[in-house]
Amino acid sequence: MRTQLFVAMLFLIFSVGCKGQTPEQKKQMEEMQKNAENLQKDMEKKALEAQRQYDSVMNSPQVKKIMQQTEAMEAQAKIDRDKRAAEKQEKVQKPNIPKKDYDEYLVSKGNAKKFDNWAYGEADIMMGGFATRITDPGYYKKIGTVKADGSFNLQLPAIVDIKKNGIANSRWLSCGYFGDKGKIEYSNTNTGVKVGYIQIKKNENLVGFLSIASSLELIEGWNPIQGHYHDIPGYRLEWFYVTGETSVKGQCVKENRYGEGKDFDITTVFDMQLKPGWNLLKREYDGPRIFVDWGEGEHNKHSYYKEEKITVAPSMLSNAKWIFRAN
């Protein structure tokens, strides 16, 4: 570019300088102009040769292959960027639905009090709820020990001091606490009640939770917040302590209202005769179901049991299993 400007300037000088010159000077200027013209032609020739060489290189099979590879890489990079952007948007719009992962669970063989592959060393089996607040002294009581080999024993307290309201106000053995409707009759409404939830601790640190059920899926699939369960029939066993004998008979209907095509009710049927002391309650899921498609794919389609039955198990059932869930 600079050379072309230089040549143009020479032509301008020649055109101006030729006026009022002697023949000798005019001859010199004409010779200089001729040299400038030759220089321009030589430059144009070299430019054409350079362009020819460039075109030859760019049209060679090797360069074409490199260009194709580059275009393919750029196209793949765009696909990857678009995919990441779509995944990010999808993560924002969709609820986080965790995959089933049973690695955090241990299940006994039959109802033997032992967990294979126990890796937490010796730990304490604790039961909570023996005081008003969780921060109060004596809220937790030790009821057993898990040995280093995974075997364990537990002994429920013989006497429990219950200072709460009667059984009709229990959140687990009455209607209304979770927004459900119905009627339950008690032969003794003054009976106090306590739920025996069990934890496992080591050096005051929570290790996990101990449950009893017919299968692991019963513990993993239960939703205590929304009060419904899906996927597999079976039962859970829970310890309840009552201060006096009473019968509990009736039913509660929990209305689940999620929108058109997603409404369903769960009916809880109570049929129990509770004895003073500890009772092993059986929550059983079986019978008719209702199918609900929550949308967003196959992973969010479930069949929900329309009814759960609560009775009293006379003792530990033969096909029940102890289930540990790590914290």
Taking the domains of the chain in order of start, what are their residue ranges?
A: 2-92, 110-326
pLDDT in tens, 191-237: 988 888 899 999 989 999 999 999 887 777 655 444 455 557 789 99
pLDDT in tens, 15-73: 555 555 677 777 777 777 777 777 778 888 888 877 777 777 777 788 778 888 888 88
Query: Phi/psi at 109 (nearest 5 deg)?
Result: -85, 110
Say what the pLDDT of residue 114 is. Answer: 96
Kindly give, in sequence order, each residue whose CB lies less than 8 Å from that of residue 75, ignoring residues fewer than 6 positions away: none
Query: Phi/psi at 220 (nearest 5 deg)?
Result: -70, -35
Phi/psi-derived region of residue 277, left when phi > 0, alpha when psi is between -120 and 50, beta in every other case:
left
Give the span between the Cα atoms of 140 and 129, in whole angstroms. Answer: 6
Give the span between the Cα atoms of 70 and 64, in whole angstroms. Answer: 10
Residue 285, judged by CB atoms within 10 A of its CB (0-12, 13-18, 19+), counts as buried
